[in-house]
C-alpha cells in the first residue's frame, strides 16, 4: 500500500512556510520558506499610525513558490501520492473582495491602495471602532460579546471593516464581502470565481467575527446597522454556515494543480488561524495551555464541551465550539507583543551603529550589521541570565503593541521604571523578558480565576527551542513546568494533520495527532527560589500596570 502525503502551509507575519509530510509518521519530507518581498520592504505600512497591511501578491507568490519547492524536493513518486493541502494564517487578517472573490488590491485601480489590502492582525488603526462596538453592545439585551471574552478588539474583523469603510469610500463602494486570509486561500486554491463559494471556518468566524450557533450565526442586522449605517445589510453578504478545519473546502483547481505539480484530486481543507492549527501540531491536551510564541503569542486551551457548560471566560479572545478540535471548546488568549518586544530593543541598540556605518565599505557594513542582527539577542540572553532575580531591579510593562489579553486594550503602551546609572543593556533586556513572562502569567491566572484549570504549559515555535533563558524564566515566573515540542514548524505540521483528516486518511484530527505527532524533547521546571522572588515581583508588575493603564485612559 502506498504511503500518502500531505502539505501544510503556514502564513506567518513575515513569511510563508510549507511542509510536505508523511501521514504514516509525520516525517517532514520537504520544507520551503518564502519571505514576503513587499512586506520586507515596508510597503503599505505606517508603524507610527499602527497601520500594517499586506499585499495579496506576497501571499500568492509565496504559496506557489513554497509548495512547488516542496514538491520538487520530494520528487514525482511522492508528489503523486499527495492527498491534501491545508493552510493556517495570522488573524484576524481580513480583506475587501469583489463579487468574484478577488481582493480589491489585485484590481488595477486599487493596486497601491493599502485599504484594499489584507489588514494584518497587528494593525491597530481601528481602536476607535472597537471602542464603539464595545459600548454599543451594552445596549442590547443579548450579549453578543459573550463568546469573545466580553471585549471586542481593534485587531478583529468588524472593527477593521468599519474603519476601512469610514476611511475609504471608493473601497467601500467596490466591496462585495470581507474575508479572512485563512478563508480566502482555500477558495483561491479551489479555483473559486464567486464570493458565495468562499467557505468560512468556525475558527475565524467564532473568535473574531461574533459568529455563534447560539445566535443563529452572526448578530442580527440591527446590531450593525444601528452601530453605523455603513454596515446596514452587510451580514447578508456573509454565510450563516461555518465549517471546522477537519472538513474539506474542495479540491485543487486545474490551474493550481499545474502550477504546483500536483493532481486535481488533492483535497483542500478549510482554513484556520495559525495558533489553533499550531496547537494541534503541538499535540495539545485538554486543560494544557498551548503557547505559540513568536512576534506575539497566541495561547490555546481546549476543554470538553460537557465540562464547559455555563462557563464564559471574561477578557480572552473567545471560546468557540470546534475552533481547534471538533467536539471540544477552543479557548484563545495571547499577548500582542512577545518576540516583537525583544526585536524592538535589538533595533534600538543597533540603530546608532547602522546610522554611523554609512561611510564605511558597504560589504563590511552589511556583514557587521548581519552579524549583529543574528548575535545580539543571543549575547543579551547570555548576560541577562547571569543576573540574579531581584525585587529592586528595573521593571518593565510588555504592552509595546497594546494588550491582547486579559482584557483587550490596544491603546496601552509599554513602559520601563527603576532605571539608574547602572542600568545597562542586559539589565533592561532582562526586565523586558520578565515583563513578557509576567504577561503570560496574567493569562494563566485569568483562566484559573474563571474556573478553567491549567494543568501545564506546552510551548511551540522558534523562541521556545532557541532561547533557554526565556523559557526557564517563564517557568520560574508562572511556577509550572513547560514542555517544548520537538518541531519548530508546529503550525505547518498542524495544518498538515488537518489536511490528512480532511482528505479522509484519518477519521478525526485526534488520530492524526497520535499518528503524525513528533513529541516533546525539552522540559523546563521552575526554580522554586526564583518563583518566590517573582511572586513579589509580579505584584510590582501588576501595580505598575494598573498605574500605566490609569494614565493612558484618562
Burial of 76 (0-12, 13-18, 19+ CB in 10 A): exposed
SS3 262: coil
Contact 270, 502 (CB under 8 A): yes
pLDDT tens column, 285-323: 999 999 999 889 999 999 999 999 989 999 999 999 999
Alpha-carbon distance 278 to 455, whole Å?
A: 19
DSSP notation for 107-123? SGGGTT-GGGSEE-TT-
DSSP class of residue 51 equals: B
Contacts of 105 (CB under 8 A, 6+ apart): 55, 56, 95, 111, 112, 113, 116, 117
Predicted model pTM? 0.92
Task: Give tens-digit pLDDT for 55-80.
Answer: 999 999 999 999 999 999 999 999 99
CB atoms within 10 A of CB 236: 10
So what's the pLDDT on residue 554?
43
Report the distance separating Cα 395 and Cα 541, nearest Å: 7
- Residue 195 half-sphere exposure toward CB, CA atoms < 13 A: 20
CA 203 to centroid of chain Cα atoms:
12
d(CA 164, CA 178): 11
Residue that the C-alpha cell 516533546 belongs to: 520
269, 275, 282 from 107: Cα distances, Å: 27, 31, 39
Full 3-state SS string of 179-236: EEHHHHHHHHHCCCCCHHHCCCEHHHHHHHCCCEHHHCECCCHHHHHCCCHHHCCHHH
| Contact call for residues 447 and 331 (beta carbons, < 8 A) | yes
pLDDT of residue 221: 97
Q: Which run of H or E residues covers position 543?
A: helix 528-552
Q: What was the pLDDT predicted at 368?
A: 78
Residues of the chain with pLDDT under 70: 1, 358-359, 553-554
Q: How many CB atoms neighbour CB 61 within 10 A? A: 16
CA 525, CA 101: separation in Å to the nearest integer? Answer: 49
Bridge partner residues of 22 (DSSP): 5
Catalogue all structural domains in the chain, each as residue range(s) with its CATH number: 5-282+488-518 (3.30.420.40), 339-485+523-552 (3.30.420.40)
Q: CB burial class (10 A; 0-12, 13-18, 19+) of residue 181?
A: buried
User: Would the CA dihedral through 351, 355, 356, 358 be positive or negative?
Assistant: positive
DSSP codes, 442-493:
HHHHHHHHTT----EEEEESHHHHH-HHHHHHHHHHHTS-EEEES-S-HHHH
Tell me the three-class secondary structure of 263-325, residue by residue.
Answer: CCCCEEECCEEHHHHHHHHCCCCCCEEEEEECCCEEEEEEEEHHHCCCCCCCCCCCEEECCCC
Q: H or E segment at 31?
A: strand 28-35
What DSSP designation does 521 have? E
**What confidence score (pLDDT) does residue 288 get?**
97
Report yes or no: 86 and 277 within 8 Å, Cβ to Cβ: yes
Q: Which residue from 484, 516, 486 is spatially nearest to 498, judged by alpha carbons?
A: 516
* Cα–Cα distance, 196 to 92 (Å, whole number): 20
Answer whether the bond into residue 406 is a cis peptide, omega within 30°.
yes
Task: Count the neighbouring beta carbons within 10 Å of the beta carbon of residue 318.
Answer: 25
d(CA 473, CA 275) in angstroms, rounded, equals: 22
Per the CB < 8 A criterion, the answer to whether 19 and 97 are in contact is no
Q: For residues 397 and 548, is the Cβ–Cβ distance under 8 A?
A: yes
Number of H helices, E strands in the chain: 19, 20
Amino acid at each position: 500500500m502506498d504511503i500518502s502525503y500531505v502539505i501544510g502551509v503556514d502564513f506567518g507575519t513575515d513569511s510563508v512556510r510549507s511542509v510536505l509530510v508523511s501521514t504514516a509518521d509525520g516525517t517532514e519530507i520537504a520544507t520551503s520558506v518564502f519571505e514576503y518581498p513587499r512586506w520586507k520592504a515596508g510597503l503599505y505600512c505606517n508603524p507610527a499610525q499602527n497601520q500594517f497591511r499586506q499585499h495579496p501578491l506576497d501571499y500568492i507568490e509565496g504559496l506557489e513558490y513554497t509548495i512547488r519547492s516542496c514538491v520538487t524536493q520530494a520528487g514525482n513518486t511522492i508528489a503523486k501520492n499527495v492527498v491534501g493541502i491545508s493552510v493556517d494564517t495570522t488573524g484576524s487578517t481580513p480583506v475587501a473582495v469583489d463579487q468574484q472573490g478577488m481582493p480589491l488590491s489585485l484590481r488595477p485601480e486599487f493596486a497601491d491602495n493599502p485599504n484594499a489590502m489584507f489588514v494584518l492582525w497587528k494593525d491597530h488603526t481601528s481602536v476607535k471602532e472597537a471602542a464603539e462596538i464595545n459600548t454599543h453592545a451594552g445596549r442590547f439585551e443579548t450579549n453578543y460579546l459573550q463568546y469573545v471574552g466580553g471585549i471586542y478588539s481593534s485587531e478583529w474583523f468588524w472593527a477593521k471593516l468599519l474603519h476601512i469603510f469610514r476611511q475609504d469610500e471608493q473601497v467601500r463602494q467596490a466591496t462585495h464581502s470581507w474575508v479572512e486570509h485563512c478563508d480566502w486561500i482555500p477558495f483561491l486554491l479551489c479555483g473559486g470565481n464567486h464570493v458565495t463559494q468562499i467557505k468560512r471556518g468556525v475558527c475565524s468566524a467564532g473568535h473574531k467575527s461574533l459568529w455563534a450557533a447560539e445566535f443563529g450565526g452572526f448578530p442580527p442586522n440591527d446590531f450593525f446597522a444601528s452601530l453605523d449605517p455603513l454596515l446596514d445589510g452587510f451580514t447578508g453578504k456573509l454565510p450563516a454556515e461555518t465549517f471546522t478545519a477537519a472538513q474539506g473546502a474542495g479540491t485543487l483547481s486545474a490551474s493550481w494543480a499545474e502550477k504546483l505539480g500536483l493532481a486535481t484530486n488533492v483535497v483542500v481543507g478549510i482554513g484556520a488561524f495559525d495558533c489553533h492549527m499550531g496547537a494541534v501540531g503541538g499535540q495539545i491536551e485538554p486543560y494544557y495551555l498551548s503557547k505559540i510564541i513568536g512576534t506575539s503569542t497566541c495561547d490555546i486551551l481546549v476543554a470538553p464541551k460537557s465540562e464547559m457548560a455555563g462557563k464564559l471566560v471574561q477578557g480572552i479572545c473567545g471560546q468557540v465550539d470546534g475552533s481547534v478540535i471538533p467536539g471540544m471548546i477552543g479557548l484563545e488568549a495571547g499577548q500582542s507583543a512577545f518576540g516583537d518586544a525583544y526585536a524592538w530593543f535589538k533595533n534600538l541598540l543597533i540603530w546608532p551603529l547602522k546610522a554611523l556605518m554609512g561611510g564605511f565599505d558597504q560589504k563590511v557594513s552589511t556583514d557587521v550589521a548581519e552579524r549583529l542582527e543574528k548575535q545580539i539577542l543571543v549575547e543579551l540572553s547570555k548576560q541577562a541570565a547571569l543576573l540574579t532575580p531581584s525585587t529592586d531591579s528595573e521593571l518593565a510593562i510588555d504592552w509595546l503593541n497594546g494588550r491582547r489579553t486579559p482584557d483587550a486594550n490596544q491603546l496601552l503602551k509599554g513602559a520601563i521604571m527603576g532605571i539608574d546609572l547602572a542600568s545597562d543593556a542586559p539589565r533592561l533586556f532582562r526586565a523586558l523578558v520578565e515583563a513578557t513572562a509576567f504577561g503570560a502569567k496574567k493569562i494563566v491566572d485569568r483562566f484559573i480565576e474563571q474556573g478553567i484549570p491549567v494543568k501545564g504549559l506546552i510551548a511551540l515555535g522558534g523562541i521556545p527551542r532557541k532561547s533557554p533563558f526565556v523559557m526557564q524564566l517563564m517557568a520560574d515566573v508562572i511556577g509550572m513546568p513547560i514542555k517544548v515540542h520537538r518541531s519548530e514548524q508546529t503550525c505547518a505540521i498542524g495544518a498538515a494533520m488537518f489536511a490528512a483528516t480532511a482528505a479522509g486518511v484519518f477519521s478525526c484530527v485526534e488520530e492524526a495527532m497520535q499518528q503524525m505527532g513528533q513529541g516533546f524533547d525539552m522540559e523546563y521546571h521552575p526554580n522554586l527560589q526564583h518563583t518566590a522572588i517573582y511572586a513579589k515581583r509580579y505584584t510590582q508588575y501588576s501595580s505598575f500596570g494598573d498605574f500605566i493603564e490609569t494614565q493612558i485612559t484618562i
